[in-house]
Amino acid sequence: MSVAQALRDAAARLETISGTPRLDAELLLAHALGVSRNDLLMRQRDLRVPPGFNLFLDRRLAGEPIAYITGTRDFWTISLHVTPDVLIPRPDTETLIEAAVDHFSKRAPAHVLDLGTGSGALLLAALSQWPLASGVGVDVSSAALAVARGNAQRLGLADRADFHLGDWAEGMEGPFDLILINPPYIARNVLLSGDVLHEPDGALFAGAEGLDDYRRIAPMLPRLLAPGGMAAIEIGYDQRVSVSALLAEQGLGISARRDLAGHDRCLVATPAGLA
């Protein structure tokens, strides 16, 4: 079977479980061949479909996310290794980096803290954005920290990134110019579908209202934020009011940013009411 035919057949099969069946087919075949997607598309006539492609396709048809099958995910300007021990970085989360870029348009943050670092996506994206910055990533999962450390090493950022096993910012000392936070925020009774069914529960759910971790994190921020600094906090699309109230109780200034779909996605918190 030709590569072109294999892609058509795979995309047709994937239509039942994916919103991007053709893209999924291309990524899986490129991975099976050990080439980039661009190489696959440019060299279709020169390539042959390897036996391993059907195994990858079956895993995707069973619902496994593309990122876990290929082991990679692009985020901001970097490419990350991901495993089922970490959340898959998503474009929505890039809204936090965009907010930081706007806030630090005239100066660069020197010290960065990433709470719930997972794969290290936010911290490593920030260190890539600001070459003189250094930072700390904290996570409660030692398996996630192993993934983050590996990503820092592969990206040549290990000398500027430190990773700690910890419970949010307990025991951490500031100040930090930039704090990046993507906590669990899904209510426990919400029924999920799609890729998230394969992601770690501990990185998704946060109590009956989805607010448990925000309630713990908000009181920590005033002592950690440097003057002129900011915290960028990811929220669910319907949590702007509830999470803003928790931050306002700590005397923080608050502004909201929307993602590409137009949903409230990031709250920016600043010290002393300076939003």
Segment 114-135, tens digit of pLDDT: 999 999 999 999 999 999 999 9
CA distance 22 to 15: 8
The single residue listed with the structure tokens 């050990």 is: 34
Q: What is the pLDDT of residues 135-192, one digit of tens each?
A: 999 999 999 999 999 999 999 999 999 999 999 999 999 899 999 999 998 888 887 7
* pLDDT band with cut points at 50, 70 and 90 for residue 274: low
Torsions phi, psi for 229 (to 5 deg): -85, -175
Domains of the chain: 3-63 (1.10.8.10), 77-273 (3.40.50.150)
The average confidence (pLDDT) of the chain is 95
Q: In this structure, what DSSP letter does residue 251 have?
A: T
Peptide bond into 200 cis (omega under 30): no
The secondary structure of the chain in percent helix, strand, coil, rounded to multiples of 5, reads 45, 20, 35
Q: What is the pLDDT of residues 224-268, one digit of tens each?
A: 999 999 999 999 999 999 999 999 999 999 999 999 999 999 999
Torsions phi, psi for 75 (to 5 deg): -150, 125
pTM of the model: 0.93
DSSP E strands in 35-124: the ranges are 72-75, 78-81, 111-115
SS3 at position 231: strand
* Contact assessment for residue 133 and residue 127, using Cβ atoms and an 8 Å cutoff: yes
